[in-house]
Structure 1
Amino acid sequence: MSGHKRFWKAVSVAQENGLFEPRLDGRPIRLPQGKVLAVRSSALAEAIAGEWGQIAEGASFTPDSLPLTRMAGTMIERIAPDPQATRDMLLGFGVDDGLCYCADGISPVAEQVFAWLSGYGIHPIVTDGLMPVVQPEGYLEALGQLLAMQSDLELAVLGVLAQATGSLLLSLAVVGGAVSLVDAVLWANNDEKSQLATWGQDDELVRTMENREKDILDAGMFLTLGRQVSI
């Protein structure tokens, strides 16, 4: 989609085989591998259609202009055919999770996450140093079991959140409803905020924080809308 310009006049949503398809001039949107963009939630489909509708006539657009579309495409073409591959990838974040490094002490957000994880038998070792932490026996197995409980929708969201925050543990707690998106943003941007407080204004650092916040909030929207499925 990079470098493309708006070529459609109208955006709509149609129901087909129990799924909801955002359409451009009545035609389904084809993803990079050729699959039709179709989701189970009408609310999510409407929001995806809204992304396409907001692009000005004749304007250029990139995947960054369409975050919900991008996540839906990942869910449909990359995760759904082989969810375990995504779980294995995500587990890599948990091997050396950013939440386990607490140089300034365990934050309230981290405490919330650890309390929630304990309900699943996950008790990570935390350090205030810089050397890599070796987690206890059974940690990765328990984390893998928690990942096995996540749907394709949730795995797509976890992929964005883990990349944005550097923490699978925090991301799982967000998806599980134990930590708010606002608190996730605050924790993820804490180091940059400290740098700004010490060294003063840095426009590049501010852009990094803003992009991270947008990724986290977009992922939260995708999760909320995607879960609105009528049974």
Structure 2
Amino acid sequence: MREILTDLETPSALSDPDPVKRAQKQMQTPLPKRFYKNVEIGEADDGFKVLLDGKPVRTPGKTVVTLPVREAAEIVRAEYDAQEREVDPATMPVTRLVNTAIDGVAQDPQAVAEDILRFASSDLLCYRADGPETLVGNQREHWDGVLDWAERRFGGSFNLAEGIMHVEQPRTTIAAVGTYLRERTEPLRISCLHLMTSLTGSALLALAVEDGEVSAEEAWTAAHVDEDWNISQWGEDGEAAQRRANRWRDMKAASDLLAVLPR
């Protein structure tokens, strides 16, 4: 399962899930030169292609990249066009996500949906601090509204717990989330949802972004309530800040792509 969701691009610089370590590896591995001049969008029988000097972009698995709507193709086109002397995959998060969807997730989208469901069974938003009051209040402010939305959307409640002790969620509620996810079999959509879930630690935040209940920025803030409280107390580590910035870039890429996909 996890093999499906790792970066599928070559070279191996993209194989590490930690964006900082990935960037360090890239510094050691020469990037390919930009080999194309023109980047355009072309029509295909089942959507739109991105063309480099007239030739279609392919995934690392050699499949032609075809996007269902022009808006999605435009995001990928812009990433290729933004490359200067070298082609740096680290600066092309939507392209990487599309490649993963086509080469990996499309092989078994249901397995990816089930992984999202596992997050929902132990969702970040259900585990609350017992103090201090400032942190407790921040969690309520950023998390309660999403939980209220989820309970309305799925027709069931979620159990809350203090600390890290596992709390069992109602089977009917998790079943409703599972039914919702099974309807989302399109590889690009489920890839976006899985990436946002992995980055935030919350399936409910990812699904709330998809539903338009919260923005990607609001979900990102909610996912980092605990971390931001710690930063306010002890300060921020520079390497951690860079890692978070890189992860936000991936989060925004997923939400941007998700926003233009047909429902």
- Do they fold alike, i.e. is TM over 0.5? yes
Structure 2: unaligned runs, 5 residues or longer: 1-9, 12-30, 130-135
Question: Which among 69, 72, 78 is matched to residue 44 of structure 1?
Answer: 72
Q: Give the corresponding residue for 1:32.
A: 60
- How far apart are 1:28 and its partner, in Å? 0.9
- How far apart are 1:60 and its partner, in Å? 4.3
Aligned length: 226
Query: Secondary structure of the residue that 1:93 maps to in structure 2?
Result: helix
- How far apart are 1:175 and its partner, in Å? 0.7
Q: Give the corresponding residue for 2:28.
A: none
1:116-131 counterparts in 2 under 5 A?
116-119=149-152, 120-131=154-165
Q: Give the corresponding residue for 2:248.
A: 213
Query: Secondary structure of the residue that 2:66 maps to in structure 1?
Result: coil
Instruction: State the distance in 2 between where 1:137 and 1:220 align.
Output: 29
- How far apart are 1:205 and its partner, in Å? 2.4
- How far apart are 1:122 and its partner, in Å? 3.3
Instruction: State the distance in 2 between where 1:221 and 1:82 align.
Output: 23
- How far apart are 1:18 and its partner, in Å? 3.4
- How far apart are 1:4 and its partner, in Å? 2.5
Query: Secondary structure of the residue that 2:40 maps to in structure 1?
Result: strand
Letter of the 2:114 partner, please give it.
D
Q: Give the corresponding residue for 1:142.
A: 176
8 Å Cα contact 1:99-1:110 kept in structure 2:
yes
8 Å Cα contact 2:113-2:182 kept in structure 1:
yes
Q: Which string of whole-angstrom CA distances, capped at 9 and with x for unpartnered residues, describes residues 31-52 of structure 1?
A: 1222110111101101201101
Kindly indicate whether residue 143 of structure 2 is the aligned counterpart of residue 110 of structure 1.
Answer: yes
- Which 10-residue stretch deviates more, 90-99 or 35-44? 90-99
Q: Give the corresponding residue for 1:188.
A: 223
Structure 1: unaligned runs, 5 residues or longer: none
8 Å Cα contact 1:19-1:41 kept in structure 2:
yes
Kindly indicate whether residue 97 of structure 2 is the aligned counterpart of residue 71 of structure 1.
Answer: yes
More helix per residue: 2
Instruction: State the distance in 2 between where 1:225 and 1:159 align.
Output: 17
Query: Secondary structure of the residue that 1:9 maps to in structure 2?
Result: coil
Identity %: 31
Q: Give the corresponding residue for 1:157.
A: 192
Instruction: State the distance in 2 between where 1:115 and 1:41 align.
Output: 33
What's the TM-score once normalised by structure 1's chain length? 0.90
Instruction: State the distance in 1 between where 2:171 and 2:45 align.
Output: 46
- How far apart are 1:11 and its partner, in Å? 0.9
Instruction: State the distance in 1 between where 2:66 and 2:87 align.
Output: 24
What's the TM-score once normalised by structure 2's chain length? 0.79
Letter of the 2:168 partner, please give it.
V
Q: Which string of whole-angstrom CA distances, capped at 9 and with x for unpartnered residues, describes residues 72-110 of structure 1?
A: 122223233332111112112122111111212552332
